[in-house]
Structure 1
């Protein structure tokens, strides 16, 4: 395998790991908000500030992604889906926030 092929394979692997990490963070954030929706007293000021910080960080990470030239249609769609999900998560958070 040539140096270039190895470098691109490594880059692709890193890219895939990064996107997978963002997806996992969205899942965990959705779970936290689902729990808060079930328990009206769980949205303390501290909890709300922490969740809002996470939402802001994830939004920034997801909306500033510059897709690599070699990204597949599936990867591009995945990013679009994450952008919609973070928007929906923020809306749900605002409904829970006192």
Structure 2
């Protein structure tokens, strides 16, 4: 009995891209939250700062531990590179907000 290779590969590719999209959406949400906190310094309570730093760490760990599959397209590779850059920039933005209130 033959394995439905193309179907399996297609499912894996789709799932992997969905995962990358979810990471990207998470970064967008955090970016907006950090931007708002920068505008309202009182928002950055110790609890908020700690939670935000943990979220950034979790997303960063997920992005930097991704092993690019051999079938990843140039577009996929570029997206990962851009997301990694964005998470570094986001952390720098977070640190700026943190310094404003601490």
Query: Do the two structures share a fold, i.e. TM-score over 0.5?
Result: yes
Tell me the SS of whatever aligns to 1:46: helix
Q: Please name the residue that 1:85 is paired with.
A: 86
- 2:72 alignment partner in structure 1: 71
1:1-98 paired onto structure 2 within 5 Å: 3-97=4-98, 98=102
- The RMSD of aligned alpha carbons is 0.8
**In the TM superposition, what is the alpha-carbon distance from 1:68 to its structure 2 partner?**
0.9
**How far apart in 2 are the matches of 1:29 and 1:40?**
16
Q: How many residues align?
A: 97
| Structure 1: gaps spanning 5 or more residues | none
The SS at the match of 2:32 is: helix
SS of 1:18 mapped into structure 2: helix
- TM-score between both structures, scaled by the size of structure 2: 0.93
Instruction: Give the unaligned 5+ runs of structure 2.
Output: none
1:7-51 CA-partner distances (Å, limit 9, x unpaired): 000001101100000000000000100100100111000000000
